[in-house]
């Protein structure tokens, strides 16, 4: 009887005790800390989420990064904590009475747990002591009411990054027998990394008693000393700030870049919907006995992005401190940040913002620490769309910059053209690369049009990280306003929360000369206020989003119907993938959906989106017996446009909500498909409209 009792304790303490199978759900992760590491290092990563029972694997996109699951701790309830306290007292009492009798039995039970067995003994590393420490840690970190239940289940990974791993962003997911989680941004860094001790689960704040839920930590942990260059990783608790002290020399051009909102675009149960970091740089003044901090730089947004950037020319040798905190002093475990500091290359803007596909345009760049760096255009075989470019300076690679490619003829804006009398003449179709280069500037273009001809004017600026908030006007030769637009929502723009790019589509009333006026809504301007303006006839097209970015399909075999509980032998199984369509320039034709070159055993059941549909579900039939994972699953749509077949792959995405109101489709790098054994991971109890989860 006692062995059964001890086994229950081991399961609770070690995180092995799964929830009832009927409560299984799609895995979810809300944060990863730290959200990256340096090339050539091995370190631990803590993740918080829910629905992670029987967690057994971690997946990282790209080459050169390996992740292994070390521990998993689900959220415990009050009764389980009471049981752990009782058994902890018994363990300590029995260990004192008969240590020699306890060790062999405990060694056997430890072998049954997730941790590998170690030789028996009575020292600090004995199986009994390890179990006592494990239970004590679980009790100490227990929170009866977490600030967010969505991140209260904890996983610990060991991550190894190869020394030659390509620097930049990856995606990290967790996998259970039930499915694959949503992805989180995970970085491969180039400079040494410093990580603060991970936070334990934050407690829910009760109105009027918020101080009881605040993190209590020694003042010595508020500030760390660092050596440049480096990346610092931390988590902000409610009401606190983190500080970092370092030495700097006169003439250094320091760049401090922050990743916070970029790591976790939308935080569960939080208003505003993301961590809004503030970055402050201080010079240490005063005397050694009475030092003072003098603020020398401050930022809470970089242009229109919530993650701050500070660029600072060091005026003299000395000590400096930078601090980071939330703008309204919120915080909990998923308020994760990465701040990289040093004389590192930073590209702040480029011109032009794009070029014609198949060419190698000359690109100018501006930023910091770019002397001697090179910025190469996208390869000439890059298809039309959004590409990414970066500068390289020595061994360091800069941040990535968006660069648009199109198939239309290109030209450059020519000043002066801020009035109709000096409007720049254009031939349609054209893509114009220009700038609103000073406050109150307008760029005006004229073209010849025909009666009943439809003309489209579309601005690409904010979607290419330009600070321009465009406004478009279409007028006739007499200045009569025919069409006007400030902002137009683009469902394909991901985490962009201000759809600041303008779009006009208008049918011309008569033959004659027409004018397009482009300016900034706030009447601002400068070299960085660049844009690409497309003037053309409508170009009907479409884009697709597969939401969520993963699918779980039961393998063929003995399937239990979740509704009738009947057992079907050797049954082919089915699962569905929601697919959203983004129609462009008035396209209303049907779109046929399917799988592109699916692995053997998976078949996409053909379906078509009509011109009035915004979303449908693509059904996937599974004829596989063995469980396997395939990260190469691609959903594609085909449509007949102007007599030719157009094919586009669906971009995998996650449906995320901002501040309980606005929905965003956040793109992912890959679509993850899991075929699982229903004997170990039965179907969810969630029912479809027909009340069935599988078909015979």
Min mean pLDDT across 275-279, 634-638, 683-687 is at: 683-687
Q: How far apart are CA 623 and CA 600, in angstroms?
A: 8
Token pair 């200045």 is found at: 479
Confidence of residue 228 (pLDDT cuts 50, 70, 90): very high
Long-range contacts of 480-487 (CB under 8 A, 24+ apart): 482/506, 482/508, 482/509, 482/514, 486/521
Please list the residues that pair with 175 across neighbouring strands: 57, 180
Token pair 């497309």 is found at: 534
Q: How far apart are CA 480 and CA 478, in angstroms?
A: 6
DSSP assignment, residue 395? Answer: T
Can you give the pLDDT at residue 127?
A: 83
Can you give the pLDDT at residue 643?
A: 93
Judged by DSSP in three states, 159 sits in strand
Cβ neighbours around 633 below 10 Å, total: 23
Q: Which of 495, 544, 494, 553 is nearest to 26 (CA)?
A: 553
Sign of CA dihedral 171, 656, 539, 350: negative
**pLDDT beyond 70 at 276:** yes
Q: In terms of pLDDT, which residue wins out, 693 or 570?
A: 570
**pLDDT beyond 90 at 628:** no
For 527-542, what is the mean pLDDT? 97
Can you give the pLDDT at residue 221?
A: 87
Q: How far apart are CA 121 and CA 381, in angstroms?
A: 65
Mean pLDDT for all residues in the chain = 87
Q: Which of 301, 228, 287 is nearest to 258 (CA)?
A: 301
Cβ neighbours around 561 below 10 Å, total: 17
**Contacts (Cβ under 8 Å, ≥6 apart) of 79:** none
Token pair 């004018």 is found at: 515
What are the backbone dihedrals phi and psi of residue 305, each rounded to the nearest 5 degrees, phi first? -100, 140
- For each of the domains in the chain, give its residue range(s) and CATH number, in order of start: 2-178 (no CATH), 191-342 (2.60.120.380), 410-539 (2.60.120.380), 543-676 (2.60.40)
**What tens digit of pLDDT does each residue of 26-62 get?**
899 999 999 999 999 999 999 999 999 989 899 999 9
Confidence of residue 343 (pLDDT cuts 50, 70, 90): very high
Tell me whether residue 288 is exposed, middle or buried, using C-beta atoms within 10 angstroms of its C-beta: 0 to 12, 13 to 18, 19 or more: exposed
**What tens digit of pLDDT does each residue of 281-329 get?**
999 998 777 889 999 999 999 999 999 999 999 999 999 999 999 999 9
Q: Which of 471, 475, 493 is nearest to 483 (CA)?
A: 475
Please list the residues that pair with 234 across neighbouring strands: 337
Give the C-alpha distances (Å, rounded to integers) separating 696 from 110, 241, 599, 693.
Answer: 43, 58, 21, 10
Q: How far apart are CA 197 and CA 88, in angstroms?
A: 26
Report yes or no: 31 and 264 within 8 Å, Cβ to Cβ.
yes
For 260-282, what is the mean pLDDT? 91
DSSP assignment, residue 606? Answer: P
DSSP assignment, residue 680? Answer: T
**Which tokens belong to 217?**
């930590």
**What tens digit of pLDDT does each residue of 249-259 get?**
999 999 999 99
Q: How far apart are CA 589 and CA 541, in angstroms?
A: 9
Report yes or no: 239 and 214 within 8 Å, Cβ to Cβ.
yes
In which region does residue 437 sit, left (phi positive, over 0), alpha (psi from -120 to 50) or beta (all else)? alpha
Cβ neighbours around 485 below 10 Å, total: 19
Give the 3-state secondary structure of 333-375: CCCEEEEEEECCCEEEEEECCEEECCCCCCCEEEEECCCCCEE
For 254-282, what is the mean pLDDT? 92
DSSP assignment, residue 68? Answer: E
What is the DSSP code string of 228-272? SSEEEEEEPPTT-EEEEEEEE-TT-EEEEEEESTTTSSS-TT-SS
Q: How far apart are CA 467 and CA 524, in angstroms?
A: 9
Cis peptide before 130 (omega within 30 of 0): no
pTM of the model: 0.87
**What tens digit of pLDDT does each residue of 438-475 get?**
999 999 999 999 999 999 999 999 999 999 999 999 99
Report yes or no: 189 and 108 within 8 Å, Cβ to Cβ.
no
**pLDDT beyond 90 at 272:** no
Confidence of residue 630 (pLDDT cuts 50, 70, 90): low
**What tens digit of pLDDT does each residue of 171-213 get?**
999 999 878 999 999 999 999 999 999 999 999 999 898 888 8
For 65-89, what is the mean pLDDT? 92
Report yes or no: 538 and 642 within 8 Å, Cβ to Cβ.
no
Kind and range of the H or E element at 135? helix 127-140
Q: How far apart are CA 414 and CA 445, in angstroms?
A: 10
What is the DSSP code string of 530-576? EEEEEEES---EEEEEESSSEEEEEPSEEEE-TTT--EEEEE-EEEE
What's the order of all strands across the beta sheet hosting 336-342?
A: 193-195, 230-235, 336-342, 253-259, 309-313
Degrees to nearest 5, angle at CA 518 with 514 and 521: 140
**pLDDT beyond 90 at 685:** no
Q: Distance between the two ends of the chain, CA-based, in angstroms?
A: 44
**What tens digit of pLDDT does each residue of 559-575 get?**
555 544 444 556 788 89
Token pair 């970092």 is found at: 244
SS3 content of the chain, % helix, strand, coil (to 5): 10, 45, 45
Q: Which of 398, 369, 370 is nearest to 254 (CA)?
A: 369
**pLDDT beyond 70 at 554:** yes
Kind and range of the H or E element at 444? strand 442-449
**Which tokens belong to 325?**
């905190």
């Amino acid at each position: 009887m006692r062995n059964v009792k001890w086994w229950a304790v081991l399961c609770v303490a070690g995180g092995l005790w799964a929830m009832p199978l009927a409560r299984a759900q799609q895995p979810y992760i809300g944060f990863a800390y730290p959200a990256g590491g340096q090339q050539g290092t091995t370190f631990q990563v803590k993740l918080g989420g829910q629905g992670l029972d029987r967690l057994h694997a971690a997946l990282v996109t790209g080459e050169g990064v390996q992740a292994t699951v070390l521990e998993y701790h689900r959220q415990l309830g009050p009764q389980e904590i009471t049981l752990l306290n009782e058994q902890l007292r018994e363990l300590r009492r029995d260990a004192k009475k008969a240590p020699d009798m306890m060790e062999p039995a405990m060694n056997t039970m430890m072998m049954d747990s997730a941790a590998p067995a170690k030789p028996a003994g009575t020292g600090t590393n004995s199986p009994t002591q390890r179990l006592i420490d494990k239970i004590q840690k679980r009790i100490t970190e227990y929170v009866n009411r977490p600030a967010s239940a969505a991140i209260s289940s904890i996983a610990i990974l060991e991550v190894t990054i190869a020394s030659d791993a390509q620097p930049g962003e990856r995606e990290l997911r967790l996998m259970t027998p039930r499915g694959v989680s949503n992805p989180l941004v995970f970085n491969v860094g180039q400079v040494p990394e410093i990580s603060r001790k991970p936070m334990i689960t934050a407690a829910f704040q009760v109105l009027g008693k918020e101080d009881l839920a605040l993190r209590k930590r020694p003042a010595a942990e508020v500030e760390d000393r660092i050596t440049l260059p480096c990346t610092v990783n931390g988590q902000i608790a409610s009401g606190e700030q983190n500080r970092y002290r370092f030495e700097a020399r006169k003439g250094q051009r320091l760049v401090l870049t922050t990743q916070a909102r970029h790591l976790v675009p939308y935080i569960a149960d939080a208003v505003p919907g993301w961590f809004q970091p503030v970055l402050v740089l201080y010079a240490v003044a005063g005397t050694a006995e009475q030092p003072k901090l003098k603020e020398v730089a401050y930022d809470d947004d970089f242009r229109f992005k919530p993650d701050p950037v500070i660029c600072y020319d060091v005026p003299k040798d000395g000590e400096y401190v930078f601090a980071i905190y939330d703008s309204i002093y919120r915080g909990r475990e998923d308020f994760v940040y990465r701040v990289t500091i040093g004389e590192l290359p930073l590209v702040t803007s480029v011109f032009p913002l794009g070029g014609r596909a198949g060419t190698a345009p000359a690109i100018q760049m501006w930023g910091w620490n770019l002397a001697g760096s090179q910025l190469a255009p996208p390869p000439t075989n890059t298809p039309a769309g959004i590409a990414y470019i970066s500068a390289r300076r020595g061994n360091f690679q800069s941040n990535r910059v968006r660069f648009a490619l199109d198939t239309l003829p290109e030209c450059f804006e020519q000043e002066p053209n801020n009035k109709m009398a000096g409007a720049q003449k254009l031939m349609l179709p054209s893509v114009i690369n220009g700038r609103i280069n000073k406050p109150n500037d307008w760029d005006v273009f004229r073209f010849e049009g025909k009666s009943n001809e439809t003309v489209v004017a579309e601005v690409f600026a904010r979607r290419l990280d330009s600070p321009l908030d465009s406004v478009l006007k279409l007028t006739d030769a007499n200045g009569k306003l025919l069409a006007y637009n400030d902002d137009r929502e683009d469902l394909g723009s991901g985490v962009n929360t201000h759809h600041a790019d303008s779009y006009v589509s208008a049918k011309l009333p008569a033959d004659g000369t027409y004018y397009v006026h482009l300016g900034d809504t706030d009447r601002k301007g400068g070299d960085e206020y660049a844009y690409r303006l497309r003037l053309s006839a409508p170009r009907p097209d479409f884009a697709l989003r597969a939401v969520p970015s993963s699918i779980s399909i039961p393998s063929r075999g003995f399937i239990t119907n979740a509704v009738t509980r009947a057992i079907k032998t050797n049954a082919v199984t089915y699962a569905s993938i929601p697919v959203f369509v983004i129609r462009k320039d008035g396209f209303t034709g049907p779109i046929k959906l399917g799988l592109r070159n699916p692995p053997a055993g998976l078949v996409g059941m053909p379906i078509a989106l009509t011109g009035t549909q915004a979303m449908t579900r693509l059904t996937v039939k599974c004829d596989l017996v063995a469980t396997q994972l395939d990260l190469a699953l691609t959903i594609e749509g085909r449509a007949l446009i102007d007599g030719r077949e157009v094919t586009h792959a669906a971009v995998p995405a996650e449906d995320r909500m901002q501040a309980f109101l606005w929905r965003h489709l956040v793109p992912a790098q890959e679509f993850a498909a899991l075929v699982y054994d229903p004997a170990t991971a039965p179907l969810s109890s969630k029912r479809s409209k027909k009340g069935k989860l599988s078909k015979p």
